[in-house]
Amino acid sequence: VKAGKAKKINGHNVLSIDTAVKEGILVLVPEPKSPHGADVTPDGKYVIVSGKLDSHTTVYDIAKIEAAIKAGNFSGKDEYGIPIIALETVAHNQVALGLGPLHTQYDSKPCVAYTSLYVDSMVAKWDYCEGKVLDKLSVHYNIGHLMAMEGDTTAPKGKYLIALNKLAIDRFAPVGPLHPQNHQLIDISGDKMQLLYDMPLPLGEPHYAVSIAVSKLKTNVRYPFGTDSRTEQKSPFAVRPGQERTEKKPGKVEVFGTVIRSHITPEIIEANEGDEVTVHLTNLERAQDETHGFAISKHNGNLSIEPGKTASLTVKVNKAGVYPYYCTEFCSALHLEMEGYLLVQPANYKAAGAKGKEGQVYGQKDYDARVKANNDTQAIINSVVGYITSVNFKDFPQVVAMVEDATEQLGYAEQNKKKSEEFAAKGDFNSAFLWAEQWFQYQVKAADIGLRAKTYLEQNGAKKVEAAPAAK
């Protein structure tokens, strides 16, 4: 390519067959009947190729291939002028594994490989250095790909193998003509393979998979605030709590909102028939796995908004009406309250004066009952806080993030508590009750986060810490 021998096709550098042959980078080696998988061994010495319509699997010696190319040891050329190396010149061995060999994965043990046998519905364990079959295991049914633990890397881990079978047939309870695919977990730690577990999967042919150790994953609990996950940059549509707004132009409504347990802000979006409505939502959560969703009734679209993420949904509102929107991911005990309404006015609508009916009015009895429940909830929160602060929670970054989140929620709870008490002091128990409800919502969020942190600490070996000595 650097020498200018490539040709640009649709913006891509392409080497012609003639150029590749002249440069010595393209040669052919025969493989019996419909090759279906070419897998290099972990040490890089061999490549194993299976013929789907042949019972043999061939082990090619890469060093012999390189030597034949260097020496120009070719048996002929194909109709396009590509040189051919004779099979016997470069084959290390050929092994009769069974009917329909397809793909190969490797064990942590030297020279041990596993090849899927589609027609036989079996996995063959074999020694590719010595060229002999070590074991066979029936799988259910018609295996295609297979996956050993890091089995196509330079350092396979062994222990387990998964057969990605294309058919399940009679392995699961019949529920009709449509059956799941079947993945089977196999223990390969011993001399003989042992089938451990069947796992049904819906829809689609299982086609290639890899496994890696979980310890290699370095994941984030949340996105940096306001991240657009498509660009991995700060979204220009992100807003902080209290900065939510709606902007209107002729034919367009643009909403900059937030979501947090258990509230979507704004609760009301107003538009006119025919408008294009775009909703940008930022997930304010910091706790792990607190994903929110967003969908508008009768409008085809759904957002998945992970903690810290900003996502956008655009819809065309072609019919007047009231359309609920709601969170489509369960997030807390008050999940069902996480909703709002898109109000679409008819085209050319003119408002007429009208007086609405007053709804539910709450009194002192309602307020007192709500406050009692809130105080009981706070007692539970205090007990959880007592446990968390009695152990080394600061040694667990995930818990520290949860504690910060819960502390912020309790701050909001305290603000709403004060407003509730102010209205109660004025004798406005309806407003006092409503603010007490908001106080409770923040308590629930804090309690949920706190209990999650407590469970995490208990499951991950948190240790008691010495209490600070009392001041003299």
Q: Is residue 353 part of a domain?
A: no
Rounded Cα distance between 83 and 65, Å, is: 12
Based on the fold, state whether residues 143 and 267 are members of the same structural domain. Answer: no
Residue 272, domain CATH: 2.60.40.420
Same domain for 314 and 393, yes or no, is no
Residues 117 and 178 in one domain: yes
Domain boundary among 288, 314, 345: 345
CATH of the domain at 116: 2.130.10.10
In a shared domain, residues 30 and 142: yes
Q: Do 260 and 270 contact (CB within 8 A), yes or no?
A: no
Q: Which long-range contacts (CB under 8 A, 24 or more apart) does 400-404 make?
A: 401/221, 401/222, 401/286, 401/287, 401/288, 402/286, 402/287, 402/288, 402/449, 402/450, 402/452, 402/453, 402/456, 403/453, 404/286
318 in any annotated domain: yes
| Residue 257 covered by a domain | yes
Domain boundary among 345, 376, 407: 345
Domain that holds residue 311: 227-345
* Percent of residues, the chain, with pLDDT higher than 70: 98
Q: How many Å apart are CA 340 and CA 279, to the nearest integer?
A: 13
CA neighbor of 440 nearest in space, from 354, 387, 375 = 375
Based on the fold, state whether residues 268 and 339 are members of the same structural domain.
Answer: yes
Cβ atoms of 179 and 172 within 8 Å: the answer is yes
Give the position of tokens 């012999």.
64
Both 122 and 196 in a single domain? yes
Q: How many domains does the chain have?
A: 3
The 10s digit of each residue's pLDDT in 332-385 is: 877 888 999 999 999 888 877 767 677 789 999 999 999 999 999 999 999 999
Give CA–CA dist 328/305, Å, rounded. 10
Residue at which a domain ends, from 317, 345, 373 = 345
> Which of these ranges, 14-18, 43-47, 332-336, has the smallest mean pLDDT?
332-336
Q: Decide if 210 is inside a domain.
A: yes
46/162 same-domain check: yes
Domain-located, residue 354? no
Write out pLDDT tens, residues 163-209. 999 999 999 998 899 999 999 999 999 999 999 999 999 877 888 89
Q: CB neighbours (10 Å) of residue 246?
A: 16
Query: Which of 142, 110, 143, 106 has the alpha carbon at shortest distance from 125?
Result: 106
pLDDT band at 441, cuts 50/70/90? Answer: confident
Q: Are residues 203 and 294 in the same domain?
A: no
Judge whether 134 lies within some domain: yes
Peptide bond into 420 cis (omega under 30): no
- Across the range 240-258, mean pLDDT stands at 95
